[in-house]
């Protein structure tokens, strides 16, 4: 799947389907507040394939990230994030000016998606001291684009398991188009846990066409809607990575690879999560014929708990 994502991110200036409302005259605009040093909207948007999954899209030529958000008063509303020359980020949208509650939600959700408040000091320090990875600190990279909610990241991750990237895009598109709340302009938000649960397994099999994942989607929606899974606690730094990983692994459909990928979206270091794409691409990048899993682990050992992040950054450096 990694190569498919890479080809898509490199092969077009528009990633995903730009949601309705993005083309409307701007009715509201606001600053997203402080931005970390060296932050790049482009590098964060292209950090992995999430920018191309409904209801998100990234326009590389305009350097604009479009996203339909679910807001307290305006409901589904497509927001566009751009970066000024001074590095500051601006969110703008059409149709309505937005209530105070909407504006608070827009700022909070956008900052969360761009991981603006994540502390990458330790990662950058370790990379700066590791041969071949000093560029990570120099560029200030390491933030992964994520969804406005943990539930959506879990659902999107579930849609990536054991399938092609093209199928992942279709599953997410059908999920949004068939279940997401719809706004006046036809824009649709990502469905809530309750909406997923109420849809039923048959809907996921027949309409979303999620196959064997259908039951997992329903169980996930049910668990999050009922607070049986405390996803808020996953943001608490006091909770060990191992505990969060164990809880994610307890969810149907989340094996080691999917669960370790989720850690990265939670602002936590992810595991190496080695697959055939990684084992094939990494040696090529490093000018070697092949590498064993032990050799790969040894290369990133100096990064400590950030080993998986360092590996991912090295693998995707050519994406942007």
Per-residue tens of pLDDT for the chain, all 320 residues? 666 666 666 667 999 999 999 999 999 999 999 999 999 999 999 999 999 999 999 999 999 999 999 999 999 999 999 999 999 999 999 999 999 999 999 999 999 999 999 999 999 999 999 988 999 999 999 999 999 999 999 999 999 999 999 999 999 999 999 999 999 999 999 999 999 999 999 999 999 999 999 999 999 999 999 999 999 999 999 999 999 999 999 999 999 989 999 999 999 888 888 888 899 999 999 999 999 999 999 999 999 999 999 999 999 988 86
Read off the pLDDT of residues 85-111 as tens digits, 9 standing for 90 and up: 999 999 999 999 999 999 999 999 999
**Do 219 and 169 lie in a common domain?**
yes
Give the domain-ending residue among 100, 118, 136: 118
Task: Report the pLDDT value the prediction gives residue 9, as an integer from 0 to 100.
Answer: 64
In total, how many domains does the chain have?
2
CB within 8 Å of 161: residues ≥ 6 apart? 213, 253, 254, 255, 257, 258
Q: Which of 97, 118, 139 is the last residue of a domain?
A: 118
Structural domain boundaries enclosing 225: 150-265
Angle at 79 between CA 112 and CA 90, to 5 degrees: 70
Do 97 and 203 lie in one domain? The reply is no
Is residue 319 in a domain? no
* Residue 191 is assigned to a structural domain of this protein: yes
Domain co-membership, 88 together with 195: no
Q: Are residues 155 and 111 in the same domain?
A: no
Please indicate, yes or no, whether residues 81 and 172 belong to a single structural domain of this protein: no
One domain, residues 103 and 165: no
CA distance 290 to 303: 22
- The residue among 118, 139, 163 that closes a domain is 118
> Within 13 Å of residue 89, how many CA atoms lie on the same side as its CB?
28
Q: Which CATH number fits the domain that encloses residue 80?
A: 3.30.310
Question: How many Å apart are CA 3 and CA 175, to the nearest integer?
Answer: 24
Q: What is the predicted pLDDT for the residue at 306?
A: 93
Q: What is the pLDDT of residue 7?
A: 64
Residue 54 lies in a domain: yes
Domain co-membership, 87 together with 163: no
Is pTM beyond 0.85? Reply is yes
| 95: number of Cβ within 10 Å | 19
> What does DSSP say about strands 14-16 and 89-94: parallel, antiparallel, or unpaired?
unpaired
| CATH code for the domain in which residue 165 is found | 1.10.340.30
My answer on whether 182 and 237 are in the same domain is yes
CA distance 19 to 239: 37
The token duo for 96 is: 């309505």
């Amino acid at each position: 799947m990694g190569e498919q994502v890479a080809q898509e991110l490199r092969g077009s200036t528009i990633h995903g389907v730009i949601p309705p409302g993005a083309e409307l005259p701007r009715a509201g605009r606001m600053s997203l507040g402080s931005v970390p040093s060296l932050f790049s909207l482009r590098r964060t948007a292209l950090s992995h394939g999430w920018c191309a999954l409904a209801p998100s899209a990234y326009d590389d030529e305009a350097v604009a990230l479009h996203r339909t958000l679910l807001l307290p008063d305006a409901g589904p509303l497509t927001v566009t994030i751009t970066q000024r020359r001074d590095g500051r980020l601006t969110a703008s949208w059409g149709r309505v000016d937005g209530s105070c509650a909407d504006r608070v939600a827009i700022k909070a959700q956008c900052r969360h998606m761009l991981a603006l408040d994540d502390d990458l000091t330790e990662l950058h320090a370790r990379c700066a001291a590791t041969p071949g990875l000093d560029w990570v600190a120099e560029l200030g990279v390491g933030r992964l684009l994520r969804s406005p909610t943990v539930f959506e990241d879990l659902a999107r991750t579930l849609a990536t398991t054991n399938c092609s990237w093209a199928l992942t895009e279709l599953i997410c598109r059908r999920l949004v188009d068939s279940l997401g709340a719809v706004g006046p302009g036809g824009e649709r938000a990502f469905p809530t846990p309750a909406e997923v649960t109420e849809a039923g397994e048959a809907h996921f099999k027949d309409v979303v066409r999620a196959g064997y994942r259908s039951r997992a989607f329903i169980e996930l929606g049910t668990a999050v809607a009922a607070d049986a899974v405390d996803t808020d606690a996953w943001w608490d730094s006091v909770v060990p990575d191992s505990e969060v990983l164990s809880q994610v692994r307890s969810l149907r459909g989340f094996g080691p690879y999917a669960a370790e990928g989720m850690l990265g979206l939670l602002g936590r270091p992810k595991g190496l999560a080695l697959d055939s794409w990684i084992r094939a691409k990494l040696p090529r990048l490093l000018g070697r014929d092949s590498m064993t899993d032990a050799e790969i682990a040894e290369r990133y050992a100096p990064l400590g708990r950030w080993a998986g992040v360092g590996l991912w950054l090295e693998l995707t450096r050519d994406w942007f």
